[in-house]
Structure formats: C-alpha cells, structure tokens
A and B are shown apart, each in its own frame.
Chain A
Amino acid sequence: MAVGNNTRRSYSIIPCFIFVELVIMAGTVLLAYYFECTDTFQVHIQGFFCQDADLMKPYPGTEEESFITPLVLYCVLAATPTAIIFIGEISMYFIKSTRESLIAQEKTILTGECCYLNPLLRRIIRFIGVFAFGLFATDIFVNAGQVVTGHLTPYFLTVCKPNYTSADCRAHHEFINNGNICTGDLEVIEKARRSFPSKHAALSIYSALYATMYITSTIRTKSSRLAKPVLCLGTLCTAFLTGLNRVSEYRNHCSDVIAGFILGTAVALFLGMCVVHNFKGTQGSPSKPKTEDARGMPLMAFPRIESPLETLSAQNHSASMTEVT
C-alpha cells in the first residue's frame, strides 16, 4: 500500500493536529458564538439626523420573513462547498489518471504501526477545515465591523419611532446624538443598529468564491469546456443576488453590501492562495526557511548533474511501484 518515497512516518501529526489546529478552531468558533448569540459586545450607539430620508424606508419584517431566510442561507452556504469538495476529492481519487498525480503530490503519513492517513483523507480534512475556519473568521469580521460602526439600517427610523417632540428637532436637519429617544421595540432596534458590512453578502460571496477557486484549480477535464464556467458563474451569481436582495428588501444600504462583498472576497482569496496554495498538494511546504543554509551549501546553485544511472534508478523505482500496487 505504501508507495515508495511518498510515504513518511510521523508520530507527531495527530497530537499536533489536536493541540494546534483544533484549539485555534475552537477559539474561532467560540469567538463567533459570542458575537452571534450573546450580547458580550455592545453595539456602538450612532446618532442620526431628524427626518433623514435614508433611514426612513419601511420595515420589511423580521429576518425569517425575508426572501432568503437565514436558515436556508446558512445551510446552503455551508453545504455547497463541502459537498463540492467531497465529490471532487473522491472522484479525483477514484479516477486513475488524477489519482497518480494526487499521490505524487501528497504523502501518505504513517502514524504508529497500523494507521495511515492517505492523501484523500488529508486533502478533504485540510480543504474543508480551512473552509470552515474561513467561514467563522468572516463571521467574526462582519460582526466586529457591525458592532464597532453601529451603522443604521435603512428602516431604522421606522422601527425606532423617535419621539421628536421631546428632542429639539425643530431646526432643519438637527443631529440627534442620544439613542434614548427611540420608543419602538428594543430588540428590533438593536438589530437595526447592525448593518455595516452585510453579513449575508460577505458569507455568501466567501463561500461561493472558495468553491469557485476549488473548482477552477482542481478539476481539469478537457471534455466539458462549459461545465466548469457554468458551475462557477452560477455559484457566484447566486451569491451576488443574495447581496442585491438585501438592498432591495431595505435591509442594508448599498455600501454595506459592497463592503460585505469586498470582505468575503478578501478572506476567500487570502485563504485560497496563501493557506491552501491554490488547492495543490503540500510538496514544498514541509520545510523551513533555510536562507542561511544557502551559505553552508552554496553548490546548490550549480546545475544538477544528471547521470544516466540516475534515470536508470528512476525506472527501477517505477517498476517497483507497479509491483507494489
């Protein structure tokens, strides 16, 4: 089963995984939980101008009455890239031509005597783990932005129902700084103060872009030239429409949605390009920056001397590989 030099032995990978990755992941999830479900972080109270037309759109109802309910959105954006990665990796593993290049890219790791982590498992865990991490990171970004800015939603004044007579709002465009003149439902008002990066826009574009990057960089079929673009553009279009829907339902300003798009795009690009390296294998990464070592062995700069014997040995190698498998 073990294939030549693509196997290596590591007793440290599982403890490393548990103690580093899982702890970081748990911290991220915990932070996201605190932002989402508790009121640990108090929202910044923003003032507004009397009769500000930008904030007087009608109230579109609770989030559940929206065209895209949060439950549907979260399920779809978590499940779609996961399913795509699962299907892609498994099919890559079972199609023979891609399997060989996959095994060449990735090492099988022996942990202990019996257990081994094969490339399929490693890649699935890595890609889906990074995806989940990015999802929570985007959520934290968005929530932190919303809490710090405290930007008001377009329907804020409708919900707030300010008591203008008590404030001195007779002069034109008076700025009202204290948030205490609202008379509406406090919970709804609290939600109406969280708008600036649109969460729906950021999460959906992140998930769509991650899936797109996965599809474009891994699936290389020559036969269907249009299948890949259709899949990618379809996902991106759905994400885009999710953002636009927020504006058309008066739940967010246009700037909120644009900021959400930029945020989600940035996180997805960063994770896809710098962390999982365009979904390639980890051929180069398990090494350390040995710039100083260049002094120790300067002859690496010389061209490598190819010898006929070496190629012979390589052939030998492949022969043994066919034997083993």
Chain B
Amino acid sequence: MPRRPAALTSSMLYFQMVIMAGTVMLAYYFEYTDTFTVNVQGFFCHDSAYRKPYPGPEDSSAVPPVLLYSLAAGVPVLVIIVGETAVFCLQLATKDFENQEKTILTGDCCYINPLVRRTVRFLGIYTFGLFATDIFVNAGQVVTGNLAPHFLALCKPNYTALGCQQYTQFISGEEACTGNPDLIMRARKTFPSKEAALSVYAAMYLTIRQREIERGKETEGKKEERQLQTCFTTGEASSVQMYITNTIKAKGTRLAKPVLCLGLMCLAFLTGLNRVAEYRNHWSDVIAGFLVGISIAVFLVVCVVNNFKGRQAENEHIHMDSLAQMPMISIPRVESPLEKVTSVQNHITAFAEVT
C-alpha cells in the first residue's frame, strides 16, 4: 500500500513535538517562575468590591487545584480512550459478519492503526488546548492585574498613613500594602479565572467532540442503510444481529450522551460559581474564564476536526490509488440493477410473510 514517505511523516511529527514542547515551556514559565511580572493596579480606599474576607489558601478551597487539575486531565483522557476503544470494538464486531465476502480487501494489519492514531491525535490536541488555555489565562492575569475580592484583607493597607479620609481617594503603588507579598502577588492575578477556563475547556471539548462524532455517524448512516438492505436478503440471522448492535448504540445513547454532556458542563459551571462564592474571583473573572475556555475548545474542535476529515479524505484517496492498481475489487461494489430488483422483491415477499 502506498503510504506517505516516512521522512515527511517523521518530520511532521518532530515539528509538532517542538510546538508542543514550546507551549508546555511557556505554560511552565507562566506558572512557576516570575519571568512575567504582574501589572500593579491601584485601588480606592475602603473599596467594598475588594473587602471580602480572605478564604484561605487555594488548597483549602472546596475545589482544590490538585483535584481540579487531575480531573481536567484525567476525565477527558479516560472518556476518549474508552470511547475510541468501544467504537473500534463495535466496528470489529460488525466487520466480522458484514464483509464476509470482502475479506480480501481488509487486511487485518491496518486495523490497529486507526484506533491508536485517532486516540493519540485527540489526546494530543486536547493536551495542547489545555496548555494553551493556561497560557491565555496567565497572560490575561499578568497583563490586567485585576485585584481579587479579598485583596484588601491581604494587603492590609495602613489607611491613616496613606491619608484615606475620603472614600474616593485612589491609591496606587505597591508599597501601600503591609501584608505578605507572596499572597498579595497571587491576589493580583484574577482576571480570567483559571479554574473556570480550564474546567469549561475540558467539558466543552468532550461535549463538542461527541457531537462531531454523532454528526459523522449521521453522514455515514446512508451507507449503513444500504448495507442493511443487502443484509436483509443475505440472511435473516445476521441482519438481526446487526440490528441489535445498532439499536444498543442508538437507543443507549439517546439519554446517556446528554447525561454525560450536561453532567460535565454542570460540574464545570459549578467550579466557576464556587470561585465566586468563596470570594476568590469576581463575576466578570469567571465569565471571562468561561468565554476563554469555550472559545478555545470550539476553535480546536471545529478547525482541527475539519482538518481530520480532510486527512481522512486523503486516506481514502490513497486507498483509491491502491485500488486502481487492483480494479477487480472495485467491481463488486457497483450494485447491479438486477440485484436491486431481486432484493426489493425478496424484501417485499418477506414482509408479506411476516404480516
């Protein structure tokens, strides 16, 4: 089978690895180093927007960062792997009896590739998006330097020394604060809420991806129908078996999929709301975080899935080329009119018997 030249594939892989490494490095610099210093914002004396009590360090939150990060990284990986494997197994299962006369065409070595490749591709893009969201959020936080609702509780400004007689007096400058500088630095990073963005990104990625798969299913549906017609005539037993697998999939997903999607989205939204309830973020931060997460997920899935389809079409072309070399196989696929007639007639008689 003519494949792409190995050098090209490996260089593409190398290129992608470099991009990925760069993204991870940038995220690392944002998270763990102080290469990018935060923009220092001022505040009004006794500003009630910043006078909420300090809720304690992040680890004492109802959704601690460890839990959030492990869920955001673990759940989609699990769902994607399980989903792809299930789809793959179902394909194998239906393959067995469906293409009994066409076994020449389907070399068994080619089946392991799609599963691994699809999984790696989806997971790779997902991870990339996760780091990209992190970078977006961190960059936003550093550039805006918006203050957290509990800022004044940490900053403990000396109002008398600052001369804060009027409420409208604006205080700028870092030296106004007397509290712990580390905590103050963290309280200056709120504007897009990181927790909200990451959780919504993870939930949204899974939700849209399922929708895309479903849409793919619909377009494939027509082919399926045609095959079902032929199955009817070839053997009643095999068609029944096919229907069972079909109905299990179709019926089982009517409510199962929305439950999964809505449950994930609900958890993501609750994560965002919890940030506000614990005075760690303002409303605007959480909403901005939701927007960042949603837009990155939509962008990645829509653009990149389109890319995938293009690639698959390319694959088809490759296979068509290979088929052009052995045209004998393509002939049986052209449905002869006579076959149609017999199938329809058979069909009708079968149903006349049933009723």
Contacts and interface: CB of A to CB of B under 8 A. Distances in A.
**Are A and B part of the same complex?**
yes
Interface of A: 1-2, 4-5, 7-13, 16-17, 20-21, 24-25, 27-28, 44, 46-47, 49, 110, 126, 129-130, 133, 137, 140-141, 144-145, 148-151, 172-173, 175, 177, 196, 255, 267, 270-271, 274-275, 282-301, 305, 307-310, 312-314, 316-317, 320, 324
Contacts of B225: 287
Interface stretch (B27-35, B64-72, B186-194, B210-218): B210-218
Q: Which residue, of A10, A44, A288, has the highest number of chain B Cβ atoms within 10 A? A: A288
A44 B221 CA distance: 48
Nearest to A150: B277
A225 B3 CA distance: 58
A54 B224 CA distance: 60
A267 B341 contact: no
B121 to A, nearest CB: 12
Contact of A175 (B51, B99, B244, B344): B51
Contacts of A289: 87, 213, 216-217, 220
B222 interface: yes
B241 to A, nearest CB: 10
9 contacts: A10-B243, A20-B251, A148-B270, A284-B218, A287-B224, A288-B217, A299-B323, A313-B340, A324-B352
Nearest to B208: A274
Interface stretch (B122-130, B174-182, B295-303, B331-339): B331-339
A74 B6 CA distance: 64
Contacts of B251: 12-13, 16-17, 20-21
B334 A299 contact: yes
Nearest to B349: A320
Contact of A298 (B94, B243, B323): B323
A4 B352 CA distance: 9
B169 to A, nearest CB: 14
B21 interface: no
Q: Which residue, of B48, B51, B106, B262, has the highest number of chain A Cβ atoms within 10 A? A: B262
A10 to B, nearest CB: 5
Contacts of A274: 211, 214, 258, 261
A4 B217 CA distance: 24
Contacts of B211: 274
A306 to B, nearest CB: 9
Contacts of B338: 309
B59 to A, nearest CB: 18
A150 B278 CA distance: 10
For chain A, what secondary structure do more than half of its interface residues adopt (helix, strand, loop), or is it mixed?
Answer: helix
Given A270-B261, A291-B216, A291-B312, A301 B255 contact: no
B217 A292 contact: no
Contacts, number: 215
Interface of B: 46, 48, 51-53, 87-88, 90-91, 94-95, 99, 102, 105-106, 110-111, 114, 211, 213-214, 216-225, 229, 232, 240, 243-252, 254-259, 261-262, 266, 269-270, 273-274, 276-277, 283, 312, 315-316, 319-320, 323, 330, 333-335, 337-338, 340-341, 344-345, 347-348, 351-352, 354-355
Contact of B94 (A129, A285, A288, A310): A288
Nearest to B344: A313
A290 B91 contact: yes
A314 B348 CA distance: 12
Contact of A310 (B213, B257, B340): B340
B246 to A, nearest CB: 5
B248 A16 contact: yes
B274 A299 contact: no
A8 B223 CA distance: 17
B253 to A, nearest CB: 8
B259 A24 contact: yes
B258 A133 contact: yes
